[in-house]
Amino acid sequence: MEFTLIQGLVLGIVVLLVISLYREWFNPALSFFVAVLALLLAGVISPTELLRGLSNQQIIVIFLLILVTAGIRAVFGAAFFTRLFKTTLKPKAFLLRMMVVSSSISSLLNNTPIVAFLIPYVKDWADRTGTPASKLLIPLSYVTILGGMITVIGTSTNLVLVGLMSEYNLPLLGFKDFLFLGLLVTVAGWIYIYFIGYSLLPENVNKIDDVRLNLKEYIIETEIFEGSSLIGKTVKDAGLRNLQDLFLVEIIRQDEVISPVSPEVKLEAGDTLFFSGNTQSIYNLIHQDNGLRIPKQESLEMQNQFNFIEAVIPASSDLIGKRIKDSDFRKKYNASIVAIHRNGKRVSGKVGEMQLAGGDFLLLLSGDEINPAKHEKELFYISLPKKIEYKKPVWKYWVGAGSFLILLAGIVGILPLFTATLIIITALIFLGILNITEIRRQLDFDLLMVLVCSLAIGIALEKSGTAALIATGLIKTGQSIGPVAVLSALFVVTIFLTALVTNPAAVSIMFPIAMSLSQQLELSSTPFFVAIAFAASGDFMTPIGYQTNLMVYGPGGYTFKDFVKVGTPLTVIYSVICIGFIAWYYQLYL
């Protein structure tokens, strides 16, 4: 097949998209939009083809399922998991129970919000029992990824693929195409993590405990003495608002705790001021004789003065790439950033000048009034002050159980999945479990942009012949061995691609290639589509290819090497099982 200029252009745009996603030049939605805009301006796709994804039923189903997950989560709340995760369990017993429950739930509900919901409970159990959370959080991410492959709805990757297939009027993957292989790899994942992976995981100290044990490394205490020139001045007028390498995080005034600190707060004699950042710089500040001094008897060990909470920046957060001083963080989240950890290490420098990145782990000093649900898309709270939960009426639990049954009917094909999700959401809204505010909060327009643009890129790859060109190369690579070798090459390419970019992006890029492979080999397209579905969700070796890995990255105190160490053997096991099963089940004989 002759290589054309238009194919080179499409291939170049896709390569730049992959690099942009990997290097985080822009957020994923903007990266996809720029790539699609380039394809549109080059005449590769038309405006109609670009907007085709907005009418794709499977993309709409993704958002309906997100709302269903939010509703069912609101019904059952935390009580179920509090009873499930008893402190009397031994770590390995807890691990097994957690894996079975979380992967089972992930087969019916989207796995990303399940991980966001479970992280605080897993960490709370770990804290109460003295077990390092780092022994549990990677397993939590891995098993929800595996459990999500049991059904078409467990991960958005499967739904994106089905949406692409419907665009080309191809026979859709059925319930059994996911069920048997999904169960097989999930059970294999449990066995690997329980007997091998657990011992490979690090034993990292809880970040909050680390702060409390080494508090002076994070926070310096100062006081305003009688006769100080700062008395009566606001924080801003006193020059304490924009300090070099320092940040005023809290003021204690007798029994009152002022956190976060507004620039308009007036300073009084006896105020205790706590600074974070480059702590060495506080001594330079005090030497300026500006009314601050180090107390003779420091009281930093009085832990109750500090309301520490943990949070992580998700991959889709609007905070990514912003300087903290430009994000209005304190006002928006009613909290001050004490420290930022990235790739397992504390980020040094002036807090206000730091730019946030996906996966950043934040240590915060919070006020009493925080609403974790309000900002869930920008900031996942990992630990929160305890709240009293009131007993829900019994009828709500029946609604939750009924929602599960209707959803199951949609999965197995008794009802169309679109119809099933609409019925559930209508019931949840009518009964007051979901409201308009919650629906607006759950709608992720960045995700919509990524999915719509992914479909458009798939069209460009197929329409320009670029997909056929790549498919021809894969066929030539494995034609002397047979279709199983070609399938293996497709699987390996997809699994390495998803380690670099997001899984919906990987499945969108590989879809037209898989379709062209099946056409050129004159074989059914089903095994090739099943291969890219499982490969695109098979990123266990990096924290960046799958949202749930990124979510546990900071809270577990992991490094990139931890994912490589634990995830590489699982990736090999997963790949061998998937390729072997697909070749046998779909009779791709040598």
Higher pLDDT, 438 or 364: 364
Percent above pLDDT 70 for the chain:
76
Considering the domain architecture, whether residues 322 and 467 belong to the same structural domain is answered as: no
Q: Is residue 418 part of a domain?
A: no
Contacts of 242 (CB under 8 A, 6+ apart): 352
Residue 580 has pLDDT above 90, yes or no: yes
Q: Could you tell me the pLDDT band of residue 297, with boundaries at 50, 70 and 90? A: very low
Over residues 167-186, the mean pLDDT reads 88
- 479 against 107, higher pLDDT: 107
pLDDT at 571 over 80: yes
Percent of the chain with pLDDT over 90: 14
Q: Which residue has the higher pLDDT, 304 or 95?
A: 95
Token pair in block for residue 544 = 């960046």
Asked if residue 216 has pLDDT above 70, the reply is no
Is the peptide bond prior to 569 cis by the omega test (within 30 degrees of 0)?
Answer: no
Closest residue by Cα to residue 139 from 120, 119, 169, 158: 119
Domain identity same for 196 and 215: no
- Look up residue 535 and give its amino acid: A
Instruction: Report pLDDT digits (tens) over 397-413.
Output: 788 788 878 877 876 77
Q: Domain for residue 321, yes or no?
A: yes
- Which residues, at least 6 apart from 482, have a Cβ–Cβ distance to it below 8 Å? 588, 589, 590
Lowest mean pLDDT among 87-101, 291-305, 539-553: 291-305
Q: Which two tokens stand for residue 486?
A: 């070609």
Nearest to 450, CA basis, from 41, 27, 19, 28: 28
Distance (Å, rounded) from C-alpha 12 to C-alpha 33? 15
Residues 87 and 197 in one domain: yes
3-class SS of residue 196: helix
Give pLDDT, residue 58. 64
Work out how many domains the chain is built from and give that number: 2
Identify whether residues 293 and 310 lie together within a single domain: yes
> Distance between terminal CA atoms of the chain?
26
- Distance from C-alpha of 69 to C-alpha of 385, rounded to nearest angstrom: 24
Is 466 found in the same domain as 375?
no
Neighbour count for residue 276 (Cβ, 10 Å): 21
Coil/strand/helix, residue 251: strand
pLDDT at residue number 372: 55
Q: pLDDT tens for residues 72-95?
A: 767 766 555 566 666 677 889 999
CATH number of the domain where residue 311 is located: 3.30.70.1450
- Rounded Cα–Cα distance for residues 129 and 520 (Å): 57
* pLDDT of res. 300: 42
**Which pLDDT does position 389 carry in this prediction?**
47
Give the integer Cα–Cα distance in Å for 140 and 197: 12
- Among residues 388, 405, 422, the one where a domain terminates is 388
Asked if residue 291 is part of any domain, the answer here is yes
What is the predicted pLDDT for the residue at 304?
A: 45
User: Which range has the top average pLDDT, 179-183, 384-388, 513-517?
Assistant: 179-183
398, part of any domain: no
Q: Tell me, yes or no, whether 312 and 235 share the same domain.
A: yes
Inside any domain, residue 134: yes
Q: Give me the residues paired with residue 247 across strands.
A: 276
- CA 582/CA 76 separation, integer angstroms: 37
Q: For residue 383, is pLDDT > 60?
A: yes
d(CA 290, CA 285): 8
pLDDT higher for 363 or 477? 363
My answer on whether 133 and 171 are in the same domain is: yes
**Across the chain, what does the average pLDDT equal?**
78
SS3 state of residue 261: coil
Residues 41 and 157 in one domain: yes
Domain membership of residue 423 (yes or no) is: no
Task: Output DSSP code: residue 134.
Answer: G
Q: Are residues 494 and 573 in the same domain?
A: yes
- Is residue 28 situated within a structural domain? yes
- Quick one: pLDDT at residue 569? 95
**Where is the domain boundary, 359, 388, 417?**
388
pLDDT exceeds cutoff 50 at 366? yes
Are 291 and 152 within one domain? Answer: no
Among 257, 302, 267, 193, residue whose Cα is nearest residue 540: 193
Most confident of 54-63, 285-294, 332-341: 332-341
Q: Residue 381 has which token pair?
A: 């709270």
Same domain flag for 344 and 283? yes
Q: List, as one string, the DSSP characters of 284-348.
A: HHHTT-SSEE--SS--TT-GGG--EEEEE--TT-TTTT-BGGGTTHHHHHSEEEEEEEETTEEPP
Same-domain check for residues 566 and 448: yes
For residues 138 and 552, is the Cβ–Cβ distance under 8 A? yes
- Check pLDDT > 60 for residue 296: no
Which structural domain range is residue 550 located in? 5-204+440-585
Q: Is the pLDDT of residue 420 over 80?
A: yes
Amino acid (one-letter) located at 230: L
Q: Which tens digit of pLDDT belongs to each residue from 430-446?
A: 888 777 776 776 676 77
Q: Compute the 3-state secondary structure of the chain and give helix, strand, coil in percent, each to the nearest 5.
A: 55, 10, 35
Give the C-alpha separation, 359 to 329, whole Å.
17
pLDDT at 494 over 80: yes
473 or 562: which leads in pLDDT = 562
Q: How confident is the model over 26-49, as a mean pLDDT?
A: 82
3-state secondary structure 35-57: HHHHHHHCCCCCHHHHHHHHHCH
| Residue that is last in its domain, among 346, 363, 388 | 388
Q: What is the strand order of the sheet 345-346 is part of?
A: 345-346, 335-342, 361-366, 308-312, 380-383
> Using an 8 Å Cβ cutoff, are 536 and 494 in contact?
yes
Closest residue by Cα to residue 313 from 364, 275, 349, 350: 364
Helix 156-167 × helix 57-76 angle, to 10°: 160
Q: Going by DSSP bridges, is the β-strand pair 246-253/219-224 parallel, antiparallel, or unpaired?
A: unpaired
Assigned domain for 354 exists = yes
